[in-house]
Every structure is written in C-alpha cells, then in structure tokens.
Amino acid sequence: MIGSLSRTTPVIVQGITGRMGRSHAALMRAYGTNIVGGTSTRTDMKEAAGVPVFASCAEAVLETGALASVAMAPPEETWAAVQEALAAGIKLVVTVAEGVPLHDAIRIGRAVRRAGATWVGASTPGLAVPGECKLGFLPDVCLNPGPIGIMSKSGTLSYEVGYRLAREGLGQSIWVGVGGDPVKGVRFADMLPVFFDDPRTKGIVLVGEVGGTEEEECAEAYARLGAKKPLLALIAGREAKEGVSMGHAGALVHGESGTLASKTQRLTAAGATVFGSIESLIDRCARQYRFDKR
Amino acid sequence: MSRTASWAWGRSDVLLIEADGKALFAEHGIPVPAGVVVTDVVPPLPGDGPWMVKAQVPVGGRGKAGGIVRCGSRAEVEAAVARMLRTRLKGHSVDACLVEQAAAGQERYLAIMVDAASYGLRVIYSAQGGGEIEQSGSAQGRLCPPHPGAATEALAELIADEPEAWRAQVAAIGKALAEMLLERELALAEINPLFVAESGCVAGDAKVVVDLNAVGRQPRIASLIAARPAIYMDACRKLAEGFDYVELDPEGEIGLVTTGAGLSMMLIDELTARGAKPLNFCDIRTGQMRGSPARLIRVLEWITSRSSLKAVLVNIFAGITDLGEFAGLLAAAIQASPGLRVPVVARLVGRNAAEAQRILGEAQPGMLVTEDLEEALARIDAIVGAAA
C-alpha cells in the first residue's frame, strides 16, 4: 500500500472537525493529497476543510471509496479510531497521536495484522510521496521529489535531514515516519522491501535513535535481503542519559542491543554506512545522488 | 552523566523502585518478604533476622554496586542503612532503603514482558536465578498472546521439569504476574531471584516497568509515581508539565530550548563532539503553548538556575507552528527572565521564519537569529570559547 500511494489515493481524516483535523486536512489538500472526506461526532458540520464530513468511517468509505485514513484522535482514543477504520475496510491507517498507551498499541497491532491492513504509527508525523501526496504533517519545506527513501523514528530529526537534502537540490522518493514508540505499525525492517521494489528509490536513509532493537532488526533484514540499495544511517543519542533498564529480560531476549555501539556495529557489518553528524550524512548524499535528481 | 546508553529515554517507560514494585506484587497476590521502607531512623524490624538492606534506586545491577547487603543483627542493619542513605548509587541518589526479612530457598528467574514485534507477551523462565543469569544460558522464553490464560500455558511448558513440591506455586505466581502486567498496563514485570521452596515461594526482587502513557487511566500507578517526586523526577516533571526536560549535566554550559526528541538528542551529540557541554535535553512541544510564554519561562528558569551556563541555544524546526507567533513568545519569555544573563542564539526554520527574524531583531537587537543550524552552532562555539 505504501509503495503505491499517489495523488489519486483516496484518503479520509478521522476527527476532521477538530482544531488539528481541520488545519491538517487543509494542509494535506493544499499539498495535493486526495482528501475525499472526514469523520466527526459533530452533527452540525456537513463540511470541513472543503470536504464532506461523515458520521462514521463506514459511511465515509461507502460514499468515497477511501482506502487510507489519517486518524487525528487523542492518544487514548486512537485505538477506537483504528477499530472503526478497520471495520470500514480502510487498508492504510496513519495514527499521529503522541503518547498512545503501550497496551493499546498492542491491541492496534493485532487488529491491523488480523485485517491484513497497514499501520503507520503510533506517534508518527506521517508519510509522504513527495510531489504526489502526504498523509500526516511532514512540513512542505522538507519535501522534494527525488531518489532517496527516508525512514525515521524521530519527526524533527527527519525534518532536519529532509530540509537539508531539499536545500541541496536533492529529494525523497518515499518518506515514512515510523515513530519512536516501541510497539508500532511499520518498522524499519518492513520498509526495506518497499524501498528495494520502488524504482524511484536509489538509496535509503535511516534516521534512528538509541533504544529498542529496530535498527538491529533492520541490519539483519538488510543483509538477508541482499543489500540491494545503499543504506545510510544517522542515529541520535550518542550522549543520551542511560535509558530505563529493562532488567535481565531485556538482555536475555535481545543481548547487547539498544546502544549506539550495538546499532552501529550491526548496521556496518550488514553493509550500511553509519554517520556521526547530520552534515556528514548530507555531504554523502550530495556526492552520491546529485546526478539523480528527479 | 552516564554514557552507557541503553533502551529508550525521554519516552514513556519508567522503572519502579523495588519497594513500589513489591507493593504492586502484594496487591496482586504475589508473595513478598515482610519489609519496611527506611528513609531516616530504622523502625522496628519485621520478624527475626537475617535481614536484607537494599538501596531503593530505579536501576539494575544494585547488588554488584554494593546496594544490597545481608545483615544478621539490628545493629548491622542500622550501620548498613547509615552507609547507604544520602549516597549515590549508579548515578541515582539513595533516598530510601528497603529492609526486609531474608528469604530462603533455591533461586529461579521469572519475567513477563511486552514483545513489541509480535504484539504479544514474552514469558521467560530460568531454573537458575540471580545476577549472572545472562551468562548461565539457562533462560527459556515463550511468546504468547496478551491474555493471562495464554501466559499461564506458556509458563506451564517452561516449568514442566520443576519439582512437583512447589511447581503449582510458581504457576500461580506466574498467573498473578500476567494478570498484573495486563491490568496495570506494564511493559515488564520481572522477579529475580524468585525463591522457591516447598514451604513457600517468594519474590526476592521486583523489577516493574510502567507505561507513563497509561497513567491517566491507571490511578494506582499514578499515585506510586506522584508519591516519590525525588526518585521519579523526570516522570513527575513530564506528567506535571506535559513535555520532556531532562538535566544531563548540572555543570553544563549550553542550555537547550528545542523541539523533538530525536533532533534534541542529535544536537546534544553534535555539541558534545565539538567540545561544548550541553546542560539539558528538552522537547518543548511548541504546538501545546497556545499563545502563552509560560512554558518557555519555566524552561529558562531551570536552565538559568545553573551557574555554569554560558549560552542558550534555541532550535525550533516548525512544521506546523507559526514561527512569528513563537518569536513573540520567545521575546516575551526572555524579557520575563531576569536570571537570563547569557547570550541566546536562535535557529528557527520553517513556517514564517522571516517574520520571526524581524520580531526578534526588534525585540532583542544583537541576538543571532538564523535558519542555518551550522551557523548557530558556530556562534555557540565562539561564545563558549570567548567565555572560557
């Protein structure tokens, strides 16, 4: 679903009459996203951000044929929003709320898997195919069509990377904020086949952070899938204060994982290149991709 | 400042101190030794000795660091408590000790944790408990759906070879542990060592990691955190203020007013690599300010309370936020912060950046306001160099 997103993909915004929903629906439309409607519990509003407002996802999907949804729901209401979207047949759900409870994220993950759908989030700024559409709130100033696939745990750090790439005249093929929560939808490793199969993508930038095991998983998948395109990684948190100890359980399950050293070592061993600063990553991209501007 | 980064930070996981973990255990029917929490004078002790004196800091590896001592008499307990209180252990100040009856029996390991990749639980058991469990290679794990029944079945497989004399007791503890993890929405519940004997099984330790994102509907967890603001300082601050601020180095020189956890961490890394000393981590969330400089004033107050401060770096990447509005709030906050006597450098990029430059240029002549991060960092280098 992510690889085939385009300006024609029909998208709804759940919670479109709220402050965030209205403003971001308008911004997404202005960028070119095919926002076909939204949902709200408010019965007095028939239209918001220039599109029709429906009482439920089921009604919205029936009337518009929407395939994707951006859920602008508060964290504690995100699980209910995803259930509603899945029941209506939505195939891609993007949840932007920061602070979704861990056990709700587990419920969301299981329900999405059962439905055969795709979930981006929780706690994601969204995703974009620059020049085509954006789902969420990636800033327009960072988006520029080009050859580099971006996947990132951090919103702001990816904005910085995207902005500097754009300033160099470089750009992005597909950009997915996977979010910084431990339990989430699409993970770094899940994105590798998407980037490998995408003809627009010439290279992949991974923006990671210390903590968790996603970078290590991604390294393992990258080697296993044959390192088909260059993988350039930037990982924040070299100087981070020690994180919450997950007891012996963490070490038993994941071994020496989570640290910058572990992530750097595993990614490098798999054939990726790890950069120590934003500047050095951008320099490499500029050298490698300046003749690949789309 | 610790440099052994592991797992997440600035996020929602909080490790409870053992005494709080054991309070939850007891409420969920998991046997724990009789004990008392000591913050000052040692009260009457439970039962006869020996007792264990344990420093209450939210970090692993206390035993090896000298934070756990076995004592045979009241005098030894008093001496151990006096030795531990008001010291620092693995980067945490010891404000409380748990004194409890020493448990007896063989040591086992039992843990249940959320497994992110499978959207389920992982039950882990080992017939060898204790601090060297990773080396023993004896731990076995099973993945299961997030239901107490499934966790109980998974554990039953793992303990199938254990003696019948106490196997049912361990199974019951495992069931209670799974119910607790799901009811209280925990990330991890670990017992190491779990003392096993025919006469009774008891949790020798408790490692419980709670989810700060769920405290709104978990009043018991909220009350545990709120009761110890000194120990759960970062968590209390996050709950009270609605954003993240973590002091990294009380002798830091660069105060940071920044948005986004990842970019803030990266800035800290880059400043440190250039030889600067960042004071704090900060994810201020401009979107929640709603036209008030109060949050900026708070952060400037914390930052300027450190006498080592030489400069403040503001770095805002505004995807959504109107930088013109933010600049007005920043100017107001600077004017409302009499304690701010060092230069402020602002790197503002995104929506309405030109307007922000104009507003700050008028309100704070001489202040560098730029869209270029490298230029801002170079100015910080110059200020720190000049101050030194």
Nearest CA in chain B to A208: B262
B188–A247 CB contact, under 8 Å = yes
**Interval B79-121: pLDDT, tens:** 999 999 999 998 889 999 999 999 999 999 999 999 999 999 9
| Residue matched to tokens 């995207």 | A162
Chain B residue numbers with beta carbons less than 8 Å from the beta carbon of A166 are none
Cα A106 from Cα A110, distance rounded (Å)? 6
Substitution target in B64, B108, B115, B119 with the highest count of A β-carbons within 10 Å is B119
Residue B172 and residue B27 in one domain: yes
Phi, psi for residue A102 in degrees, rounded to 5 = -50, -45
Per-residue pLDDT at B237: 86
Would you state the torsion angle of the CA atoms of residues A41, A176, A236, A110, taken in this order, to the nearest 10 degrees? 60
- Could you list the beta-strand ranges (E) of chain B: 13-15, 35-38, 51-55, 68-71, 88-89, 92-93, 97-101, 106-115, 120-126, 140-144, 186-196, 202-203, 207-211, 244-247, 254-258, 280-283, 311-318, 344-350, 368-370
Q: Which domain holds residue B118?
A: 1-32+103-232
Are the C-beta atoms of residues A260 and A237 closer than 8 Å to each other?
yes
Distance from CA of B33 to the nearest CA of A (A): 20
Q: Looking at the domain assignment, is residue B79 inside a domain? A: yes
Residues B221 and B354 in one domain: no
How far A266 CA lies from chain B's nearest CA (Å)?
15
Q: Residue A132 and residue A6: Cα distance in Å, rounded?
A: 5
Domain of B195: which CATH number? 3.30.470.20
Last residue of a domain, one of B232, B265, B281: B232
B291 and B312: one domain?
yes
Interface test with B, best of A235, A252, A259, A282 (most B CBs within 10 A): A252
Q: Tell whether B53 and B177 lie within a shared domain.
A: no
Do B129 and B223 lie in one domain? The reply is yes
Residues of chain A in contact with residue B281, where contact means CB-CB under 8 angstroms, are: 240-241
How many angstroms away from the CA of A148 is the closest CA of chain B?
A: 20
Concatenate the DSSP letters of all residues of B223-247 into one string.
HHHHT-TTTTHHHHHHHHHSSEEEE
| Closest chain A residue by Cα to residue B348 | A160
Question: In percent, how much of chain B has pLDDT > 70?
Answer: 97
Nearest beta carbon to residue A247 from set B116, B146, B207: B207
Whether residue B189 contacts residue B176, with contact meaning beta carbons closer than 8 Å, is answered with no
Q: Are residues B247 and B209 in the same domain?
A: no
Q: Evaluate whether B31 touches B201 at the Cβ level (below 8 Å).
A: yes
* B215, B117: one domain: yes
Residue that has been written with the tokens 């930038």 in this structure: A205
Instruction: Determine the average pLDDT of the residues in B278-296.
Output: 91
pLDDT exceeds 50 at position B24: yes
Contacts of A253 in chain B (CB under 8 A): 113, 115, 122, 124, 141
Is the ipTM reported for this complex over the cut 0.90? Answer: yes
What CATH number does residue B97 fall under? 3.30.1490.20
pLDDT tens string for chain A (294 positions)? 999 999 999 999 999 999 889 999 999 999 999 999 999 999 899 999 999 999 999 999 999 999 999 999 999 999 999 999 999 999 999 999 999 999 999 999 999 999 999 999 999 999 999 999 999 999 999 999 999 999 999 999 999 999 999 999 999 999 999 999 999 999 999 999 999 999 999 999 999 998 888 999 999 999 999 999 999 999 998 887 766 666 677 777 777 778 899 999 999 999 999 999 999 999 999 999 886 654
DSSP B45: P
Q: Which residues of B touch A233 (CB under 8 A)?
A: none
Q: Does residue B205 sit within a domain?
A: yes
Rounded to the nearest angstrom, the minimum Cα separation between A241 and chain B is 6
- B218 and B298 together in one domain: no
B373–A247 C-beta distance less than 8 A: no
Q: What pLDDT score was predicted for residue B10?
A: 40
In a domain, B362, yes or no: yes
Q: What is the rounded average pLDDT of the residues B198-227?
A: 96
Helix (H) or strand (E) holding A246: none
Tell me how far apart the alpha carbons of residues B175 and B337 are, in angstroms, rounded to a whole number. 54
pLDDT at position A290: 80
Q: Tell me, yes or no, whether B238 lies in a domain.
A: no
B30: confidence class by pLDDT, cuts 50, 70, 90: very high
Cα dihedral A159, A160, A161, A162 sign: positive
Average pLDDT over residues B307-329: 93
Nearest CA in chain A to B316: A156
Burial letters A125-140, b for 16+ CB under 10 A, else e: bbbbbbbbbbbbbbbb
* CA distances in angstroms from A195 to A133, B168, B302, listed in the order given: 17, 51, 44
In Å, how far are A5, A26, B60, B63 from B17, measured between CA atoms?
A: 47, 47, 10, 14
Chain A residue with Cα closest to B181 = A103
Longest dimension (CA), chain B: 80
Provide, as residue numbers in chain B, all residues whose Cβ is less than 8 Å from the Cβ of A249: 111, 113, 122, 124, 188, 190, 207
Query: How many domains does the structure of chain B reveal?
Result: 3
- The phi, psi pair for B97, rounded to 5°, reads -120, 145
The H or E element spanning position B82 is helix B74-84
Choose the final residue of a domain: B213, B232, B251.
B232
Nearest to B116 among A110, A182, A240 (CB): A182
CA distance B355 to B78: 64
Q: Is the pLDDT of residue B6 over 50?
A: no
pTM higher than the cut 0.80: yes
Q: A70-84, A160-174, B1-15, B295-309: which range is least confident on average?
A: B1-15
Are B139 and B117 in the same domain?
A: yes
B107 lies in a domain?
A: yes
Q: Are residues B322 and B336 in the same domain?
A: yes
Active site residues of A: 248
Nearest to B8 among A163, A212, A253 (CB): A212
Is B237 within a domain? no
pLDDT of res. B238:
86
Q: Examine the fold and report which residue of B172, B204, B232 is the final residue of a domain before the chain moves on.
A: B232
Q: Same domain, yes or no, for B381 and B250?
A: yes
Q: Which residue has the tokens 């709700």?
A: A104
Tokens of B324: 């013109």
For the residues B371-381, what does the mean pLDDT come to?
A: 94
Residue B348, domain CATH: 3.40.50.261
CB contact under 8 A, B216 and A76: yes
Helices (H) and strands (E) in chain B, counts: 12, 19
| Stretch B238-242: mean pLDDT | 86
State CA B189 to chain mean position distance. 15
Task: Provide CB contacts within 8 A for B37, sequence distance 6+.
Answer: B19, B56, B96, B97, B98, B99
Cβ distance of A240 and B211 shorter than 8 Å = no
Which residue in chain B has the smallest CA separation from A23? B320
Q: Is residue B91 part of a domain?
A: yes
In a domain, B293, yes or no: yes
- B3 and B134 in a single domain? The answer is yes
Chain A neighbors of B12, CB-CB under 8 A: 99, 102, 181
Determine, for residues A101 and B4 on separate chains, whether the beta-carbon distance falls below 8 Å: no
**Which residue has 């979207």 as its token pair?**
A85
Helix, strand, or coil (residue B196): strand
Handedness of CA B275, A281, A214, B284 (dihedral sign): positive
Query: Nearest residue of B to residue A113 by CA position?
Result: B119
The shortest C-alpha distance from A63 to chain B (Å) reads: 30
Find, among B365, B325, B363, B369, the residue nearest to B347 by Cα: B369
Contacts of B210 in chain A (CB under 8 A): none
Q: State how far the Cα of B370 lies from the Cα of B316, in Å rounded to an integer.
A: 11
Q: What is the mean pLDDT of chain B?
A: 92
Nearest CB neighbour to B14, from listed A211, A244, A258: A244
Contacts of B58 in chain A (CB under 8 A): 244-245
CA B387/CA B381 separation, integer angstroms: 10
Contact A49, A29 (CB under 8 A): yes
- Whether the per-residue pLDDT at B1 is higher than 50: the answer is no
